[in-house]
Structure 1
Amino acid sequence: MKTTARRIARCFPVFFTSKRKRTRRIVALFFTLLFLGIYFVLAQFEQTGLIGLKMSNTRTFASENSFSWDSVLDALEHTEEGDFLRYDKGKTKGKQTHDKLKVIVLLHSHNDPGYKYTYDQYYFNKTKHVLSLAVEKLMKYQDMTFIWTDTCFLDRIWKELSDEMKANLKYLVKTGRFEISLGAWVSADECVTHYYSYIDQLIEGYSWIRQHFDVFPNVSFNMDQFGTSSSIHYIRRKVGIRHSVYNHIHKGTKVFFRKNRLLEFNLKQSLINNMDSFVHVEPFDDLGFKGSCGPSAKICSKLALTKTTLSFDKSLPRNATSMDFAEQLVSQIRLKSEMYLHNVLFLPVGDDLVYITSQEWDNQYKNLKKLMQYINDKSKWKIDIQFGTLSQYFRELEKVASKSVKQFPTVSGDLFPYTRGPKYWSGYFTTRQFVKRLGRELQESVRATEMLIAFTIPNTIERIQPISNKV
């Protein structure tokens, strides 16, 4: 018994010593186990990417790490009001001063094929005027650019254009100044849409564009889709889309991304290598003027220059307002540029259903030209701002990236759900079930019909040819 007791005492000496020593050893053992537990937990978190997301050295994280979308969501924190980190609490870490900025301005007008009104109501009241004037004004102003997304509206107006207008539109598309985004029949939802429906409307849009313009779009401008998925980007890469712009993503994630300069990244396919696509995220929530140039919606909303006249003649005191606006705009552009890793900046100038009248187009162009000229002439501001296309922006970005040691991060996963403030826009997973079911049933019928035609036509041709040879 004594031998056994001695062996046990050797194994657990902390329990067989004096009271004071025993207490010290118990405390030491407790902290040892505690630190070991923390070590293993941190090691596990590091594997999942959470530690990398919270690193203070954001430049290292941005240039060297890959992470998943889910790990970003796990790392987010809510405020007491239930909202996500606000801009004033999520300013970009560290000071990053770019040399001369290159700012590319691109006009756009967001037109839904169906929302509060029907497709025909939107077309006749709004979209028809936007498109016809776009062709007219781009031919008049030789450096202005414009981007369009929904092919269904192009098909509609094409039937009404004169031969001269058709030739002008073809010329503008060929030269890239009238840029077609994605080329799909509509800007489809990217969350609950079945993959076949998405592919079907891509085929419809691409066939029309190839037939009428003989081009293939290579960029995607997605200002109003509520998130995106890696599956959709796989389909897009298959049809030649390598670069995409998004605005509506999870608000907390967007705040985290702009704080850590992660607003541009490679979206990685989880199952297929070498099929990554490059994603640019606009840092602020509004798809229009308010969210275009920087964090101040009040200043950026003044970029809607359709009902005003800017003047920078120093001899007139009233023109001080224009000069003040230019200076405010430059400060906003600088703040926006600090959220990216480079000195090339994209500035979308547009909104829902804008540029409907000829006066809107003229005022917007003339005022922007004065504004850009004034900013470019101010050498101390170190900004080169001009009209350009989305494709041009990504080309400039590739040039800068090829000369820089910084590399864009790689993100995997689906960019869902979308939030606006503290509200999650995830109800579309479960609402309007009967409408969604009807859509799937119609999709099945369309697919069956297409397959029947595909099998029938070749057989019919084979039967007709012998008859025609005999005749």
Structure 2
Amino acid sequence: MGQTSSGNQPVENIQERALKLLDQYRKKLTLYRTNTLLVPLGGDFCYISIDEAEAQFQNYRTLFDYINSNPSLNAEAHFGTLDEYFRTLRGKADRINYSLPVEAGSDQIGGFSSLSGDFFTYADRQLDYWSGYYISRPFFKAVDRVLEQTLRAVEFESEQVRSKYDVRPVFKAIDAREGTSQYVEFSNPLEQNREEIAMLIVNMPDVTILDSNWTCVRSQASSE
């Protein structure tokens, strides 16, 4: 009944799996001061389908039902939320007199000490332990979120400015504002008519070409 198991487990398998699971929970419990334990289920790329999530839920519910229905095991297991876990934990901490005074105006949680910092965990074997998106490198990730918001705002504003930037050459082309038009003159020094293509390098596609009679000459703008 691992993370990728699917389907219902045979009935004769329940006791074996439940006792193994409970044994692991009790070993983990030795690291804590109370008998309340939070065990996250799943990991990367888990529960990517409804069938997998349903199979996991049914498997663990079967194990929990077996544990809870056997008083001799002296254990209780069920699904819960973080709020339920901490509410139960605080109640147990008060009963065993494990509490700390809370100063006025402090954001410290009653009954527990507070610790802040960059909790980037390291393994004692090969690879670093990954401690979560909001835990390791919090300053780095906070800056990344601010940068992402800033870039999105700039992207939005650039779209608003782009339309006005595109209109600007048209406004200048009609010489609505004195001194903004730019001229490039061509002349034919020969005494006979000639037709050929003249090419100019411009820094914007919105240009107007006029002949000596101020009549628009057909033109085409293309990128290099």
Query: Which has more radius of gyration?
Result: 2
TM range (shorter): 0.3 to 0.5
Larger RCO: Structure 1 or Structure 2 (Cα < 8 Å, ≥ 6 residues apart)?
A: 1
Which of the pair is proportionally richer in helix?
A: 1
TM-score (norm 2): 0.48
TM-score (norm 1): 0.24
Which of the pair is proportionally richer in strand?
A: 1
